[in-house]
A and B are shown apart, each in its own frame.
Chain A
Amino acid sequence: DAKTTQPNSMESNEEEPVHLPCNHSTISGTDYIHWYRQLPSQGPEYVIHGLTSNVNNRMASLAIAEDRKSSTLILHRATLRDAAVYYCILRDRGAQKLVFGQGTRLTINP
């Protein structure tokens, strides 16, 4: 499974945008980029995924570099509820399992 590299922790303020980076220099052409997050004392939850183009949904935006070797999860206006560990995961076409790394622990200051 291709690996991802994320900062161990990040901090931001409430109502400000947050940009969570992820490096995946060994990504293959069939790897999708998935983001999940795990709120305190809960199971992980899906945030967003993409292949080549930038993606938006109600939770976040995903910006994918042209060479696909990095991506950024964007929370447009962070709330206290967004404090969680965010996982960037590469998922091969046809593979169903998720391979979690250490993730980024995001702290939101009021």
Chain B
Amino acid sequence: DSGVTQTPKHLITATGQRVTLRCSPRSGDLSVYWYQQSLDQGLQFLIQYYNGEERAKGNILERFSAQQFPDLHSELNLSSLELGDSALYFCASSVETSGSYNEQFFGPGTRLTVL
């Protein structure tokens, strides 16, 4: 158990809909990352938040957005869903300390199926 929790575990929805994925980082971790894993694209970095602020952006679509709340949990919002958005979505957290290279702890993932 990494200490990172993600809900829900599975999500099935229809095209055009909007969903919210939730992540609670390990206690004390200020940084949250979102990754998408699909069969054709592999594991791809989407976005990082640090202590409530966006820190880095990857291959995140404009239809997707994220935020990190004062209690440090994060939500990934996916809207206007398409079939190709079906994937595993992982959240990871780390303690970001200046000058160090902290390992990222990954949650169990949310499996999104768009029908």
* Interface residues of A, Cβ cutoff 8 Å to B: 32, 34, 38, 42-46, 49, 87, 91, 93, 95-102
**Across the interface, which residues of A come within 8 angstroms of B48, CB to CB?**
96-97
B42 touches A96 (CB 8 A): no
Contact B108–A43 (Cβ < 8 Å): yes
B104 contacts A100, C-beta separation under 8 Å: no
CB-nearest residue of chain A to B92: A43
B109 at the interface (CB under 8 A from A): yes
A94 to chain B, nearest CB (A): 9
Shortest CB–CB separation between residue B70 and chain A, in angstroms? 21
A101 in contact with B45 given A43-B92, A96-B55 (CB within 8 Å): no
Q: Are A100 and B94 in contact (CB under 8 A)?
A: no
Name the A residues within 8 Å of B107 (CB-CB).
Answer: 43
User: Knowing that A44-B90, A44-B106, A91-B101 are A-B contacts, what are 14 other residue pairs whose CB atoms are under 8 Å apart, sorted by A's residue number?
Assistant: A42-B106, A42-B108, A42-B109, A43-B106, A45-B105, A45-B106, A46-B105, A87-B43, A93-B101, A96-B94, A97-B56, A98-B43, A98-B45, A100-B43
Q: A42-B108, A96-B33, A97-B48 are in contact. Are A102 and B42 (CB under 8 A)?
A: yes
Name B's A-contacting residues (CB within 8 A): 2, 4, 31, 33, 35, 42-45, 48, 55-56, 58, 90, 92, 94, 96, 101, 103-109
Mostly, the A contact residues are loop
Q: Which of B31, B56, B94, B109 contacts A43 (CB 8 A)?
A: B109
CA distance A100 to B104 in the complex (A): 13
Task: Find the residue from A43, A93, A96, A98 having the highest chain B CB count within 10 A.
Answer: A43
Residues of B within 8 A of A38 (CB): 43
Contact A100 B92 (CB under 8 A): no
B33–A43 contact, CB under 8 A?
no
Within 8 Å CB of A91, what residues of B? 101
Most A-side CB within 10 Å, residue of B33, B43, B108:
B43
Q: In the assembled complex, which residues on chain B have CB atoms less than 8 Å from the CB atom of A32?
A: 101
Shortest A55–chain B CB gap in Å is 12
Q: Are B42 and A100 in contact (CB under 8 A)?
A: yes
